[in-house]
Structures are given as C-alpha cells and as structure tokens.
Copies of this chain bind each other. A is one copy, B any other.
C-alpha cells in the first residue's frame, strides 16, 4: 500500500504539508502560484490522498454502509442500485454486507459497519426483531454505530428512526379487491414468510378485503409460510390439482409468483382462464418491457434512492424529527386478474 504521500508532495513543491492540504481541499489562503505549483507536483506524481488518514484526522469518514438480506434477489438488488447511484453522485463510498436473513450474520454486519466507522447506515434488517432479547442486541449494536441510520423495507416497531417502507397492507387489500371486482369469489392467497411483518401485513390485507366484501377466506385456499419458489410450486400445484380450487390468487411475492407460473404451466392451465392472479412486485423480466401480468408495482430503485437521500439529509439536520416514508404500491391491472365463468 506504499505510495506517495502528502509529505512527499510538500517536499517536492518546496512547501509545508499544511499548504498542500489547503490546496487539496481548496480552503484557507493559498496564493495562485503556490496552488499551481503544488497541483503540478500532485499531477506529476499521480498523488491521491488517503481516505483512511483523512477520515481519521477529520474524525468523520465518507463511507456509508448498506446491509441487505441478499443481493441475488431482484428486489434487493433494486434497492442496492438506488442507494448506490445516489451515493456515487454525492461522493460517498458504499460498504456492502449481506445477512442472508440470518440474525447472527446481521449482527456481524452491524459490527463490521461500526468497525469501519461508517458515517451512516442504510439497513434492511434480517427480520423485524419482535423478540425482546434479539431486539435489544440489535438496537445496542445500532446505537454503538454512533451515526444516523435509515431502516429500509422491513419495519422494526420499537425503533424510532428514519425509515422507508411500503404499505403492504393496503397493497394486498387493493390487489385482492381488484380480483373481487373482476368477479372472483373463490380467491386464494400465496403468502411468504409469516415470521416477517411484511408477510403478515400482506396476508392481513387479503383477509380484510375478503371480509369487507362478505367473502370467506377459506383456510385451504391460504398457502402461508411459503419459503422460496420451489415450495410455492409444490403447494400451488397441489392446490390447483384438487377438485375444488380458487378461481384467482393474490400472490404476495416475487418468488412465489414464479413458482405459481411454473405450476400453471406444468398442469397445462392458462392464465387467467383457469386461474387468475395479481402479484406483489413485478417479475424480473417485466421491468423493462412488461409481460401482461397484473401486479402491485413498486419503484424499487426509487425506494433505495429515497433511503439514501433521507440519510444524507440527516447528516445536515441531526435533530430533525424521524421521518417515515411509506410508499403505497401502485396497482397495475394488465389482464391476468380477469374472471371467466366456469364452464359447467
């Protein structure tokens, strides 16, 4: 890591380190000629100051941390993209860690961020930390950071802080209602991880919509606690093969959607004639061009960007009251929700 340092530049330019520092940062008094001379030397030696030394000296780094559960999921990589773009633009350095939805790794990630003395953190927690003990451990690490943080996507109820969230309940509600209004009466739901608040909120939105429209949410039509695409595939296939089945589904997440689509295909069923659906989040390939599937769309990149902006703004106004941005997903009906009378 040995490279030319500020001392070398100062010596070569025949000035003091302080002067070089002033030239670099463009503040304080430096004469035109001195500045030019120093700049020439810096240029010649490809000099670049060390963020390490600078941060140490200034007692403030320009690194910001981002913790997400996984990078391989289009939703999270969308968030990442949004965050990354804003940070690049604003001259911050992004330090990334993934938790794999694992609490211990989540703790490790928080510790790593502290170790690196990040100026701020954007945090998609591994879970909602509803367990008292785990929450305390997490909160302690978060506090130790010593800097501001923004919680993204997964709310942690007991935490009073900036956050950017989605309105999962109303999203699920409106999706379900759309199916009802299309004419469906027998509506199933494919819901994800019930450990996660967002999972329960989405299920609750479905339930409420059914109830308020006087429809029964039949237990056997509710596939909950679905982890991943494969499980969604199996459970959906089983349900679709049974003698009575829903005419439509609200599918609460991306991966389940793919599982569902595979199941439909393998059973030779078509959408929406044999089973209609509305999904949560667009499918990956849909982003640019759009398959004609109906879904609750979130501008994922924007979510990440908002979180980044919130954090940066917080740097300037540490005392501002905590902000809660709650984005309502937009329902886009593209046809897959339509109702077809059953042929007798």
Contacts and interface: CB of A to CB of B under 8 A. Distances in A.
Interface of A: 1-3, 46, 48-53, 55-56, 59-61, 63, 70-72, 74, 77-78, 80-81, 84-85, 88, 93-98, 105, 108, 111-112, 114-117, 119, 140, 144, 146-147, 228-230, 233, 255, 258-259, 261-262, 265, 283-285, 288-289, 291, 301
B1 A147 contact: yes
A29 to B, nearest CB: 26
A276 to B, nearest CB: 17
B74 A71 contact: no
Given A1-B146, A115-B51, A301 B72 contact: yes
Given A1-B61, A1-B119, A63-B95, 9 more contacts: A52-B56, A52-B117, A71-B81, A84-B96, A84-B97, A94-B95, A229-B288, A229-B289, A284-B284
Contacts of A70: 81
B51 A116 contact: yes
Contacts of A61: 1, 52
Given A81-B70, A95-B94, A258-B289, A56 B59 contact: no
A56 B63 CA distance: 16
A77 B71 contact: yes
Given A97-B88, A98-B88, A233-B289, A2 B262 contact: no
Report, nearest first, the 6 A-B pairs whose CB atoms are least far apart. A258-B285, A284-B284, A77-B77, A229-B288, A72-B81, A52-B56
A61 B70 CA distance: 25
Nearest to A84: B98
B144 A50 contact: no
A341 B84 CA distance: 50
8 contacts: A50-B117, A52-B55, A71-B80, A84-B98, A93-B115, A229-B289, A259-B289, A265-B291
Contacts of A147: 1
A237 B50 CA distance: 53
A114 B262 CA distance: 46
Task: Give the interface centre of A1, A55, A59 by most chain B CB atoms within 10 Å.
Answer: A1
A285 B70 CA distance: 16
A320 B285 CA distance: 42
B230 A288 contact: yes
Task: Give the interface centre of A70, A78, A84, A265 by most chain B CB atoms within 10 Å.
Answer: A84
A53 B116 CA distance: 10
Given A71-B84, A72-B81, A289-B259, A51 B1 contact: no
A1 B145 CA distance: 8
A93 B116 contact: yes
A230 B52 contact: no
Given A93-B112, A95-B95, A289-B233, A51 B2 contact: no
Contact of A1 (B46, B60, B98, B259): B60
